[in-house]
Amino acid sequence: MDPPPPRRRSPRYHNQLSNNNSFSSPGKKTNSSSNAGTETKLKIKIKRYHGVAKWTWGVSGFNNDDDDDEDEVCIVCQSAFEGCAPGVKYPGDESPVVFGKCKHAFHLQCVSTWLQSQNSNNPTCPTCRQEWEFGAERTVVDDDAEGEESVDV
């Protein structure tokens, strides 16, 4: 009675990617006298690539927008300025938007936490690392509302 055929090895494509966009997989070893100890490889060429997602983001000061809008999210908590800062129940409650001399905007509670976490006499801006100073009061106009509403911060 002949022994059972050898088990097929499953391809290992994920770690075999080469620079020329082809995959290589180890094949089964043959036991014939002419090919003793050799290994065949399966190669697959990638002809088409279909990306399923693309993630992009803008960096303040480096994007080439037509108008120089303020950032729409607080860089510390990554929450939208129109939304709620962490730990705040209603938008704008106890966490107004504040600006530094460097013109970067943050929730008051977020920048306060950031400044307290720095153990130095010269705290820096979370975005540009310049020495932090609160900027002059600015007025933010809500253009999305039906009647324009201005809020002093």
Query: Smallest Cα–Cα separation from 130: which of 106, 108, 96, 104?
Result: 104
pTM, whole model, 2 decimals? 0.44
Average pLDDT, the chain: 68
Query: Tell me: domain 70-153, CATH 3.30.40.10, correct?
Result: yes
Listed by start position, the domains of the chain span 11-48, 70-153
Classify the C-alpha dihedral 101-103-104-110 as positive or negative. Answer: positive
pLDDT at residue 61, rounded to an integer: 41
pLDDT of 76 > 80? The answer is yes
Q: For 92-117, what is each residue's pLDDT tens digit?
A: 666 788 899 998 988 888 888 898 88
Instruction: Kindly indicate the confidence band of residue 68, based on its pLDDT and cuts at 50, 70 and 90.
Output: very low
Q: What is the CB-side half-sphere exposure of residue 142 using CA atoms within 13 A?
A: 14
Q: For 84-95, what is each residue's pLDDT tens digit?
A: 777 777 766 667
